[in-house]
Each structure stands twice: as C-alpha cells, then as structure tokens.
Amino acid sequence: MRRIWLVFSQTVTVAVALLFVVGTFKPEWLQRGLSPGSVQVLTSSPTSSVPVSLATGGVPNQPLASAARRAAPAVVSVTASRAPASADPRSQDPWFRFFFGQHPARQEPQVGLGSGVIVSPEGFLLTNNHVIEGADDIQVRLSDGREAHAKLVGTDPESDVAVLKIELDRLPTVTLGNIEQMQIGDAVLAIGNPFNVGQTVTSGIVSAMGRSGLGLSTFENFIQTDAAINPGNSGGALIDVNGNLIGINTAIYSRSGGSMGIGFAIPIDLARQVMEGLVTEGQVTRGWIGVQPRDLDPEFAQSFKLPVHEGVLITGVLQDGPASSAGMKPGDVVTRIGDKPVRNTAQLMNAVAALKPRSETLIGVQRGEKALDLKVTVAQRPKSSAPQRNPE
C-alpha cells in the first residue's frame, strides 16, 4: 500500500511539473482544448453599440461627447475693441514736441476677448456685460470659421448679462435647459475660448446652487462648478449631459488668474428673463417693494422669541413705498414671497425682482408671534449701477 501511494505521489508531481512547463513556454497548447464561449474577453467588439472607456473604469463616455457635439457649434468667440483714449491735442505743437518728445507714443486700441452663445436662429447671442462693456466694435467668430459684426441689443449690468445679434444664415443654436432639474453632483461641460487658444471643452460637476454674496453683481444666484473655467471663458456655455444650456459662465475664484476648480455661471432662467426684456422692451423691468433687508440671525430670533428661524429681517421701510402702503414695518421678518419661501436676502431680492411691476402679490411676514399676509402692489425697480468687478 505504501508503495502504491509513493507511485501516485510521484506521478502527480511529474504531471504538475509538466503542466507548469507547458503553461510557461507553450500556453497555446492548453488553450486548444477550451471550448468556444468558455472565455469572455473584457473589451468592446467591433459590433458593440456603446464604446467603453478604460480610463473611466468602464463608464460609457458617449453622453458627454454627444452633448459637446450638439452644443459646441453654437458657442462663439467674442472680440470687443475699444478705441484708445484721445491723444493730447498739444502733441502737434512743435514746442510741445520739443520738450516732451518728437514722437509721441502711439496708443493702440484695447481688445477684450470672451465667449458667447447663440440661442436663436434669428442670431441673438447671450454673453456677459463685462465682456463687451464700453466696446466700440464687437466681432464674433463661429466655430466653423465664419465671422460677423455683432450689434449690441442691450445690457443689464445688475445681472452681468448682455445680448448681441449677428446677421448670418444657417446659424447653429443651443437648446435652453431647465435649471430646476439640475442637482448638486450632476455632470456639466463648460465651453468657451479660454486665453484665446480656440474653442475648448472642459468637464466637471455642479458643486453648489444658488451661490450669492460674492459681490459680482446685484442679483446673484450662481451655479458653482468645478469644470475648468479660465479668462476668456466669460460668456461661454455651461451645458448639461443632454447638450442643453443651463448657465452662462461668468467668473472664477482664483488667486493666480487661472482656474482653481471654483467657477460661477449665471443660471439660464435669469439670463433668459433678461434677454426677453432686452429684446422685446429694450430694457429689463424688475419688481421693487421699497425695503432694506438683512439676513435673520439666530441671536435676533432668540432675543425677540420669534417662532421662525429662517427669513429676511426688514430693517427699514421706504415711506410711501409699496411695502409701507401694504403695512409692512421695520422688525418684520419676511418668510415668503407669493408661494416661494425666502431664507436670505439674495432670495428675497431675486423673488421680488421677478415680479411684474403693477402686479399684486402676497408677502408672508412674521411680526412677533403673529404670522401675517400682506398684499403688496409691486412697483418698478429704479435703475442703479452694478457693483464694480474685476473682469476675467
């Protein structure tokens, strides 16, 4: 019995050694015996309908590429030229030239570069106000190489939106998206002409919604994204995975002048509202109720034993203004405009601005322990200058 076991052990050892040698030097001999279909190759076949990107861990990359193809033709490069400051009239005086130089320095025109988005077949474009502000001539270059002079339809410094118009045939357009369907974490693409290197597409996600208090414009409700946005991207498109326009890229947070992964875009619903006003009426009309608001802090709510902890504290009411006529008083806390809750000053300003002048709306306020609904007749917001900002 012992002899049989010894023979068996030696036979198994020799067989394993032989299998190892064959598998190392002639592996194809082992594969001949495998039946078809017993081995699955982890790669895409020529007939595969959806390519798989190994760099993305097997996630299909087709949706982003398709979105870029749909939206990119409608994104243009905008060149805004400003005439140089007028030369000193004394420069032609021989005595002036004798003392201050025979050849006065020649002043070149200032040129600003940005981006824009074609949003209608009629040739209307959306861009930023700071891209074309003060320009004497605006030129637009399409991705297909065509160029055209752009007419300034109107600007709205309070939202940093401008509308241009070009006269060309067969214009590509982008579809306007629905900002209410966007969520934090959704994938987005930023398309523009950074540093004037040519049209560039970068990807990222929506990092935050409703950003305000940045001091970039009067009405702030920015989409924050980590898609790389650099100088020259201003006025370009922020699009979703379906190729729909959801925002106009307008600013970056940067200490060096380059992208640090924090960019801001004007939501398309605000840009569309501004565009409709500029195109149809030549101006943007906004609602106004005549109050001085500030955010409600927990200390104030606790000191006055308010049953609400979110809202906007009214510190002043303009005499004979819409809010005053409706009975609003300093110390009231606004909690709702119509059916929209308001939690901070930016939301209050945006909600009131969206109201039509001469319309009536109910404003929910908390006055001590009492909750009131005040019927306010909205007035038109007076024109005011937008805060200063540093262009990209």
12-47 per-residue burial string, b: 16 or more CB within 10 A, e: under 16 = eeeeeeeeeeeeeeeeeeeeeeeeeeeeeeeeeeee
Helix (H, G, I), strand (E, B) or coil at 74: helix
Q: Considering 130, 207, 217, 259, which one is annotated as catalytic?
A: 130
Decide if 224 contacts 186 (C-beta within 8 A): no
Q: Is position 130 annotated as part of the catalytic site?
A: yes
Ramachandran bin of 241, using left for φ above 0, alpha for ψ from -120 to 50, beta for the remaining angles: alpha
Q: Is position 169 annotated as part of the catalytic site?
A: no
* 181 residue type, one letter: Q
Q: How far apart are the first and last CA of the chain?
A: 90
Q: Considering 234, 240, 259, 325, which one is annotated as catalytic?
A: 234
Alpha helices in 108-239 (DSSP H): 129-132
Helix (H, G, I), strand (E, B) or coil at 63: helix
As a whole number of angstroms, the distance between CA 162 and CA 56 comes to 38
User: Residues 6 or more apart from 166 whose CB is under 8 A from it?
Assistant: 118, 123, 125, 140, 148, 149, 150, 151
Q: Two tokens at 143?
A: 């991705």
Q: Considering 156, 160, 226, 240, which one is annotated as catalytic?
A: 160
Q: Residue 261 burial by CB count (10 A; 0-12/13-18/19+): exposed, middle or buried? A: middle
As a whole number of angstroms, the distance between CA 165 and CA 150 comes to 5
Q: Two tokens at 290?
A: 């005549």
As a whole number of angstroms, the distance between CA 15 and CA 9 comes to 10
What residues act catalytically?
Answer: 130, 160, 234
